[in-house]
Structure 1
Amino acid sequence: MKVLITGGYGFIGSHVADRFHQEGHEVFIIDNLSTGRKENVKFKHKGYILSVEDPKCVEIFKSHQFDAVVHLAAQVSVATSVSNPIIDAKSNVVGLVNMLNISAMHRVKRFIYASSAAVYGYQTELPIPEEANCNPISPYGISKVTGELYCQKWQELYYLPTIMFRFSNVYGPRQNSLGEAGVISIFMDRFISQQPYIVYGDGEQTRDFIYVEDVAYAIYRSVNSSQTGIYNLSSNEQISINQIINILNEIQGTNEVKYTHKRTGDIDNSVLDNRKVMRDLDWSPLYTIQEGLRKTAEHFMENRVRRKKKKKNESVTRKKARQTFRKVQPFVENIVAFVLVAWLTLHFLNNTYGIVDVRLFYITIIGILYGSRQAVLAVFLSSALLIYQKLSEGRDIVSLTYDTNFFFQIAIYIFVGLVVGYTIERKNVLIKQHGLEVNELSERYAFLESVYTEVREVKDELQSRILNAGDSYGKIYSATKELESLEPERVFGSAVNVVKSILQAPKVMIYMVNPNQTYLRLLASTGYHTNDIPKSLKVSDHEFVSSTIQTGKVYANKKLEQGVPLMVAPLFHNDKVTAIIAIDGLPFENFSLYHQNLFRITTDLIASALSKALSYIEATESKRYVENTMILKPEVFSEILTSKMQTYEQYQVPYLLLRADMKNIANRDVSEYLSSKLRETDYIGLDSEGRLLVLFSNTSEKDKQNIVNRLAHPLIDFSEVTKEQLVCI
């Protein structure tokens, strides 16, 4: 099974990924690494660094047919949702809708959504059942309720089976300090850094803590279940903060506790009722709070959180320093350039060199290098320098206001500064825009290239398996040659051998479907004892039969139900199911998607041969039967009889052959009488001497008397044709 986990590098997501990997499933992850870390998932998998709201996510679904999507990616901080509800809604609502839409589009079989106990808000009834009214007190809780409504509506509109878990306070290894359950990871951090525990209030407030591996197991069970709807996922146990501290002190030594004022808006007690999830998913929490805290403490101690945080802080400090320097650098270089210009100007009486004004040259260079902002500063500094120079020459401010040359020079500075600065600024903006477009296209190209490479690897692997496996071209060619017949009975007989050979299936059976598609008659089988397989099946009594006929697809017994074949496939003729082929007894390692596809290809091959044979019979029907009867001509009947004999020799499928001795009754009357008594798989025909024979498919010796009684007619006597007598026919 292919499982996509959004937020799979995060706290809960990485444990869910571990669980599915341990159970032998293929794991794919989408995560933007805003809170998750790649090192949380150590096994081989395919990961995509994307946000769930990114349109490029659809490319991932196009490349892989996911069986289930576990949507854990979210903005989980209540404080962030209050300070910036737009970011919260973008991740928790827009991202969810994107995943739901793509999942429905690509026919995902199960969608799991991580909701939260935050949807309940203040509640007086404890434990809180799923039916309680939702009254969230934060934008985070609102976004989670909205997400539940979207999931329910997508199930109604697009038939996407969804299950929603309202998590209580999840804790465990790899947890950061976000969310309400982060109190445990905060306590762990404080103990490692030798800081006192901070408790808001008296510490008697209670929460419903659940260990993260219990959550992962519940999600795993939900993917393999047919249940949908909303479920509380909790331990259904109230644990106070003081109890947490006491357990931690027992595990890792006593630490100081400081009690402070209770925070506004904190709920005193919270516990979720988990009886519904325990009943419907046959799940229960395995870890006590003591066991969970012990495993969590061991993880935090082993990973030396304090050292990692120190390195992270140093890295952040260096990054901020570099950012600050980049911002200040243009101003510093502008001032240095101005000092040089001022020195050149003030140390020469004539401030021009030939026809070049040093200040104008300075404004132009600064504008070209840094754009309009620094150009304006250069104009201001150059104008100030010009005023200072004029004043040092003995001019006064009043006289300068009447000097047209002075104003013209200032106007030139402003004009050059604005034109050059604006032009360069516009050029820089265009370059930046083009750069962003190039980066976006490069990222998309790199992403599509990685998807292409992955698909190519899968294709090469599949091609290698086809070339090197026992079910390669030689065997397929032999199967094709074996099915070359224009007689349906021979096609059915050969089909058993073809399926057995290609799929190495110990047990194979083929049933013919009656015209009304209500009953099935056994045509051929191998690997079964005579009494182990029913000769006829009622469609409505067997779910695997009705499913195969109604959907027209290969049925796989994934639940390994007793008495049900491992795989069943339909055979079509004129867009209608004519027969079904079932196989059983495959080794467990062969019960895979690869072998399901191989079975489908094989049955398509058989269906093509059968359809060709049936079409031939329909086209030559007038040449097969004695005129105005349903009695087969000798050459046609002989071929069918030979096919039955070969099937008996190979697979011990019994048959019964009766001779009809008639007294003054026409063939037409006999045909009408017998046709009403026979099944779709039985035949009436003439032998080489013109004697009338009746052939009963899949009929043993013990059934002979019942059949003779059923066919009793005053003008017709029936007697069995023995194997020895067949030689003469």
Structure 2
Amino acid sequence: MKVLITGGYGFIGSHVADRFHKEGYEVYIIDNLSTGNRGNITFKHKGYELAVEDAKCEEVFRANQFEAVVHLAAQASVNTSIMNPQLDSESNVLGLVNILNLAQKFKVKKFVFASSAAVYGTNEHIPLKEELPCDPISPYGLSKWVGESYCRKWQELYGLETICFRFSNVYGPRQSSAGEGGVISIFMDRVFSGQTLYVYGDGNQTRDFIYVEDVADAIFRSSYSRLSGIYNLSTNTECSVNEVIEAIGTMQSVRDITYADRRDGDISRSVLNNEKVKRELDWSPMYGIGEGLQRTYAWFELNRAKMESATSAVSAAKLTPYRQMFKKYMPYAENLLAFVLTAWLTFTQDTDYSAIDIKLFYITIIGIMYGNRQSILAVVLSIGLFIYQKLLDGRELVSLLYDTNVFFQIAIYLFIGLVVGYAIERKNSAIQAAERNKDELEEKYDFLNGMYKEVREVKDELQLRILNSGDSFGKIYSVTKELESLEPENVFSSTVNVVKSIMSVQSVAIYTVNPYRTYMRLIAHSNDYEGQASIRVEDDACMRWVLNEGKVFVNKDLASNAPLMCAPIFYNGEIKAVIAIDGMAFNKFSLYYQNLFKVTTDLVSSALARAFAYIEATESQRYVKGTPILRKEAFASILESKKMAKTHHNTPFLMLCAAEGEAGIESRPDQIAGMLRETDYIGLNEQEKAVILLSNTGYDDAARVLERFASRGISLNIVNGEL
């Protein structure tokens, strides 16, 4: 089973990931690493460096079928939410909506949302119960409250099962003391470094501290429960800040304690009532504050060396602003140096080359190197140097104001500086835009390529497991090679062979589903299949259940009017077709073969997804422009698959062409296309003449089909023999 944890590299997320991994889940993580640390996860998993509001998250959901999603990713700083509420809402609201929407789209069974006690605000009804009104005092608390509303509405509107936990003060190993880290992690860090502990207020203010592993346990239990709604996650125990300091003092001597004025907005008491979650989830916290602090202290003691190394790295990073300042002012220094060289050359210039104005070269070179800003500075310096030259030649400053030659020379400097600077600036902007576009495309390519490799690895690993399982399922590896086609018709035809071979059944049928999910058309079947060519979903309970639930149907009641098993085939999160099997030996009608059928249909879905993506990408090349008529090459491929299906499975098809003396099919393709089913085609044959290909239609149906076309004034004949 697969679980996705957003913010899984963070403090709470890494402990949640540990718990799911220990229970045998495949763990997937989405984290932008703004506060998370990859080093928190030491087991094998799949991680994606993405923000939860990023559109690329859809590719993660598309490539994996998650059983549960635990949404922990958030902007968790109250001060940041006050200073920059837009940033807070992007992550905590837009990010949540994106993940909720994807969970609903890709049929996740359970969605767990991490809320906060901040939604209650300054409510004095201690201990706080879930039914109390919420009045958050910060944008952070407001965004969590809004998030709870989104979860509730997604369950009401879309049927996504959601549960929200309002955390009290979580503490434990891996918690950062930077920024707005928990008070316990800050105290631990200061105690180990021998610094003073600062307490805002008298230290008698209380909090409800809960150990992080208790939180992870509750989240895991909720992921497979049927519970939904809002629950407090706490110990229901008040503990003052002074009591925390005393407990830490028993493990490590506290150097000094300084009490300061209470900060604005701080509440004196905070404790959440946890009776509801204990009763309904059958959960209770295992660690009291004493044992939890001891475990946290042991972790800080073990990781002290690593934390000191990280502090050194942060100190080194502080040099970066100086480097940035140097980089910023370096062009000005080089410009001035070039000006000094220009001035020296100007005053020492040989009389034979006095007609050459070095200042123009200076302006041009600076403009080419640095663009508009530096070229304007070069123009100003050159004008100053030019006027200074005139003054040295004995000219009066006032006389220069009336000299047109002086103004002409200054105009030349300005013209050269502006033209060169503007041209270079425009070129640099175009280059930067192209580089940004290139970087974005490369990033997207790398991400999609990584997703592709990951899916391939999973598929290969699954095939190798089956191959090495030691029983007859090893044949899946070779049989599924038949599915490697980019033409959906070929995939459907090959699927009949694959399913029949793997499942050892007599009868296999594949039905395509129309966009409105009202009718299903038979597109491929085995020789022994005797079912309907068309099914009205409303009249078939089995197919209706498969389309509504999106799961494998098993005919446990052995009803005679339903196949033994049916399984949906997905593309882009929607059911495109249904595979039905019948005629299985009774001793194989077991959970073992049900799982095998599920694996097989997943492989078929993967092959069809690749084929449909290819069809979408090459659609403009498959059809005659502006018509529903397939080009010769595309039509020949479909026709070949129909011939193979007829040879191997006796699946009939019918070819029609325009009657002699009548207008060709290409003269009214849209009218004819409107009379065809989704599984029928119009295409060009080898003689470049338009013909109609009717799937699952034999000569017995020919008279009825021709009569239907004739009633619309379309005269057709059956094509005899090979094209």
Instruction: Give TM-score scaled by structure 1 length.
Output: 0.68
Determine if contact 1:63/1:455 at 8 Å carries over to the other structure: yes
1:308 CA drift (Å):
2.8
CA distance in 2, matches of 1:205, 1:480: 67
CA distance in 2, matches of 1:106, 1:572: 23
For 2:100, the aligned partner's letter is L
1:484 CA drift (Å):
5.2
Q: Deviations over 1:131-151 (max 9, x none)?
A: 111101011111111111111
1:150 maps to 150
State the secondary structure of the residue aligned to 1:29. strand
CA spacing shift, 1:178–1:157, aligned 2, 3 Å: farther
1:576 CA drift (Å):
11
The number of residue pairs the alignment matches comes to: 533
Determine if contact 1:554/1:600 at 8 Å carries over to the other structure: no
For 1:335, the aligned partner's letter is L
CA distance in 1, matches of 2:502, 2:342: 91
Determine if contact 1:77/1:178 at 8 Å carries over to the other structure: no
- How does 1:47-66 map onto structure 2 within 5 Å? 47-66=47-66
Q: Does 1:328 align with 2:329?
A: yes
Determine if contact 2:505/2:582 at 8 Å carries over to the other structure: no
For 1:65, the aligned partner's letter is Q
State the secondary structure of the residue aligned to 1:173. coil
CA spacing shift, 1:248–1:265, aligned 2, 3 Å: same
CA distance in 2, matches of 1:572, 1:249: 65
2:130 maps to 130
Q: Does 1:571 align with 2:564?
A: yes
1:71 maps to 71
1:165 maps to 165
Q: Deviations over 1:240-269 (max 9, x none)?
A: 100010000011223311111111111111
State the secondary structure of the residue aligned to 1:198. strand
CA distance in 1, matches of 2:278, 2:323: 54
Structure 1, unpaired ranges of 5+? 487-538, 540-545, 557-563, 602-729
Q: Deviations over 1:279-303 (max 9, x none)?
A: 1111111111111111111111211
Q: Deviations over 1:103-154 (max 9, x none)?
A: 1111111111111111110111000001111101011111111111111111
Larger radius of gyration, structure 1 or 2?
Answer: 1
Q: Deviations over 1:622-673 (max 9, x none)?
A: xxxxxxxxxxxxxxxxxxxxxxxxxxxxxxxxxxxxxxxxxxxxxxxxxxxx
CA distance in 2, matches of 1:483, 1:577: 7
- How does 1:444-523 map onto structure 2 within 5 Å? 444-469=444-469, 470-472=471-473
- How does 1:275-290 map onto structure 2 within 5 Å? 275-290=275-290
CA distance in 1, matches of 2:62, 2:250: 52
1:414 CA drift (Å):
1.0
Q: Deviations over 1:482-505 (max 9, x none)?
A: 86599xxxxxxxxxxxxxxxxxxx
1:549 CA drift (Å):
12
Q: Does 1:177 align with 2:139?
A: no
2:433 maps to 433
2:373 maps to 373
1:156 CA drift (Å):
1.1
State the secondary structure of the residue aligned to 2:30. strand
Determine if contact 2:507/2:582 at 8 Å carries over to the other structure: no
For 2:29, the aligned partner's letter is I
Q: Deviations over 1:408-463 (max 9, x none)?
A: 11111111111111111111111111101100100111111111111111222233
Q: Deviations over 1:376-404 (max 9, x none)?
A: 11111111111222222222211110111
Determine if contact 2:500/2:506 at 8 Å carries over to the other structure: no
2:512 maps to none
1:466 CA drift (Å):
3.9
CA spacing shift, 1:550–1:379, aligned 2, 3 Å: closer
State the secondary structure of the residue aligned to 1:164. strand
Q: Deviations over 1:471-492 (max 9, x none)?
A: 3377999988986599xxxxxx
1:169 CA drift (Å):
0.7
CA spacing shift, 1:586–1:187, aligned 2, 3 Å: farther
- How does 1:509-588 map onto structure 2 within 5 Å? 553-554=551-552, 571=564
1:85 maps to 85
State the secondary structure of the residue aligned to 1:47. strand
CA distance in 2, matches of 1:583, 1:31: 47
Q: Deviations over 1:195-227 (max 9, x none)?
A: 110001100000111111111111000101010
CA spacing shift, 1:178–1:139, aligned 2, 3 Å: farther
Determine if contact 1:169/1:181 at 8 Å carries over to the other structure: no
2:100 maps to 100
Determine if contact 2:28/2:46 at 8 Å carries over to the other structure: yes
Q: Percent identity?
A: 55
CA distance in 2, matches of 1:214, 1:295: 13
Determine if contact 1:8/1:17 at 8 Å carries over to the other structure: yes
CA distance in 2, matches of 1:481, 1:191: 65
Determine if contact 1:554/1:570 at 8 Å carries over to the other structure: no
CA spacing shift, 1:344–1:177, aligned 2, 3 Å: same
State the secondary structure of the residue aligned to 1:124. coil
Which deviates the most, 31-40 or 352-361?
352-361
- How does 1:87-486 map onto structure 2 within 5 Å? 87-177=87-177, 182-304=182-304, 307-348=308-349, 353=353, 355-469=355-469, 470-472=471-473
Structure 2, unpaired ranges of 5+? 477-497, 509-540, 567-577, 604-723
Determine if contact 2:218/2:283 at 8 Å carries over to the other structure: yes
State the secondary structure of the residue aligned to 1:312. helix
State the secondary structure of the residue aligned to 2:129. coil
1:358 CA drift (Å):
0.8
CA spacing shift, 1:591–1:51, aligned 2, 3 Å: farther
CA distance in 1, matches of 2:36, 2:236: 28
State the secondary structure of the residue aligned to 1:251. coil
Determine if contact 2:175/2:181 at 8 Å carries over to the other structure: no
